[in-house]
Amino acid sequence: MPRLLDSALFDRQDPVSEAVRCAGASLTTAEVSTRARALAGWLNAQGIGRGDLVGIYMHKSIDLPAVVFGVLASGAGYVPIDPKAPIARVTQIATICDLPMIIVGQALVRHGPALRAALPDTRLLLDAPGAADNLQTVLAGTNTPANADRSPDDTAYILFTSGSTGTPKGIVHTHASALAYADACAALYDFRPSDRMAALTPLHFDMSTFEMFAGLSRGATVVLVPEAVAMMPASLTALLEAEQITTLYAVPYALTQMLRAGALDTRDLHALRLIAHAGDVMPPSLANALREALPGITLSNSYGPTELNQVTAHTYGTQDVPTDRALPIGQPLPDTHVLIDSTTGELLISTPAMMQGYWRAPEVTKSAFSMRAGTDGQLRKYYHTGDIARQDTDGTLHFHGRIDRQVKVRGYRVELDEVELAMGQCQGVLSAATIMRADTAELAGFVVAKPGRKVTPGDMIADLARRLPAYAVPRHITVLDSFPQTSTGKVDRKMLVDHV
């Protein structure tokens, strides 16, 4: 029988082991599996199976893992939709994917009439007691999946990112690519049944697969962090303490807020053994502050575009991080092959965790890959990351910015990531961001100060003038309490222009 994502959970049907917790409620592995199979069988009875896609439009809840695995067990792939997205975006994604069904969470049921009007050919399975198709009734049912022949190369999920043309771009991952990632992470971080993993990121963000697949497949308990808790640093650290969380996977911005307002000095986080971070560049100043606040914890800088899942890792935490250079993105994971283009410096990667392609965009998919001979002479398919990198003789990779984050200032080429690194070295700065202002063609900088520290823009600009060429020094620096965020918790640099 082929190895599939849902079998990674179903093979662990322990009636006692706690698999999922959310807002004080819990389900065992067997209970999650039973509910997932009931949903899978019901979907099959509605004519949905292999080759179909089902939308998941839900906030985090105790039922979310059962819904994910239920869709997978039906043979379909799932399309997670940002629960905070406007209805126009929801309908756009549903139309692009020809979704025959969308599973709608309890807090989003109010959008049902608008969705029905915009998507007359799409059925809605609502988490609402009075609905004709009620999610809770389905999950409590006795349906069983048809178990039609399936392949590891079948679509498991499609993640949508913003496209440069304004049309969202769907990244297609298969059971095989997702399992390759889950297996690599589980081995790298030694996930075990005793782990209690905080699921901080939303389902439509690729980091959610860390706990959903790598954690649950190893028998760990996944604690789904409600959005309201995730947004309040003190509430988040209180949850980490109360639930005795052992692993946390987060974007650097969330860690910045946790350090600034998480009351870490009052929390007992002795159970926490690992903090992995990804999704954005980790400022060295933030890494050192985190290491000092939580001594003895393993920290890991993870790297990988959504198209590839995670492909490298740099583990640190026992000593100071140099502030004059960026953190390494680390060593390639097993079975991952890297090349650096000798002309552009672009990082090319071949990995079994690589996407199948972009949804219904064959030309875009074709342009994202090339066949190259690796360092061992073997011909492989490589993905063009758009990231600039270099590699040490020991294989360690260093990120040097994005090809599309290079700007011209008065004719000079400037790496915005290099400017942000220099800003992070200034006294009192916890994290920094830089943008190119379209109206003046000048650089503008933004910083968040360390707790209890004061940052003076004028002093910073004078300091940066000693570190950077004159054309690379931001003309204006704004001190903020926090940075605006995208729906996935990254720093939203497009919104920073409103703070100039």
* Mean pLDDT, residues 431-454 taken together: 89
Q: Is the pLDDT of residue 354 over 60?
A: yes
- Between 402 and 357, residue with greater pLDDT: 357
pLDDT in tens, 240-261: 999 999 999 999 989 999 999 9
> The whole model's pTM is what?
0.88
Q: Is the pLDDT of residue 445 over 80?
A: yes
pLDDT in tens, 118-130: 999 999 999 999 8
Q: Is the pLDDT of residue 185 over 60?
A: yes
* Mean pLDDT, residues 86-102 taken together: 94
pLDDT in tens, 186-204: 999 999 999 999 999 999 9
Quick check: do 232-401 and 410-499 share a fold? no
pLDDT-based confidence at residue 165 (cuts at 50, 70, 90)? very low
Percent of the chain clearing pLDDT 90 (strictly above): 77
How many whole angstroms from its chain centre is CA 145? 30
- Between 406 and 456, residue with greater pLDDT: 456
Q: Is the pLDDT of residue 162 over 70?
A: no
Percent of the chain clearing pLDDT 70 (strictly above): 97
- What CATH code is assigned to 410-499? 3.30.300.30
- Contact present, 52 and 100 (Cβ < 8 Å): yes
Query: How many Cβ atoms sit within 10 Å of the Cβ of residue 177?
Result: 23
**What residues does each domain of the chain span?**
5-189, 232-401, 410-499
* Mean pLDDT, residues 87-97 taken together: 93
* Mean pLDDT, residues 48-67 taken together: 97
Provide the mean pLDDT of the chain.
92
- What CATH code is assigned to 232-401? 3.40.50.12780
CA gap 236, 182 in Å, rounded = 25
- Contact present, 472 and 443 (Cβ < 8 Å): yes
CA gap 401, 415 in Å, rounded = 7
Any idea which architecture 5-189 has in CATH?
3-Layer(aba) Sandwich (3.40)
DSSP 128: -
Strands 18-22 and 221-224: parallel
Strand partners, 310: none
Structure tokens at 372: 């190259």
Reduced to 3 states (helix: H, G, I; strand: E, B; else coil), residue 338 is strand
Q: Is the pLDDT of residue 164 over 60?
A: no
pLDDT value, residue 75: 96
* Mean pLDDT, residues 311-322 taken together: 89
CA gap 420, 402 in Å, rounded = 13
Q: Is the pLDDT of residue 63 over 90?
A: yes
CA gap 424, 476 in Å, rounded = 15
Residue written as token pair 């600009």: 461
Triad 90, 95, 97: Cα angle to 5°: 100
Q: Which of 169-183, 205-219, 320-334, 485-499 has the lowest mean pLDDT?
A: 485-499
- Among candidates 404, 431, 414, which has minimal Cα distance to 472? 414
- Among candidates 143, 112, 144, 107, which has minimal Cα distance to 125? 112
- Among candidates 448, 443, 449, 482, which has minimal Cα distance to 461? 443
CA gap 98, 112 in Å, rounded = 18
| Residues 95-132 as b or e (16 or more Cβ within 10 Å = b) | ebbebbbbbbbbebbebeeebeebbeebbbbbbbeebe
DSSP 491: B
Q: Which distant-in-sequence residues (6+ apart) come within 8 Å of 215 by Cβ?
A: 186, 191, 195, 197, 199, 222, 247
Query: How many Cβ atoms sit within 10 Å of the Cβ of residue 293?
Result: 17
CA gap 243, 24 in Å, rounded = 9
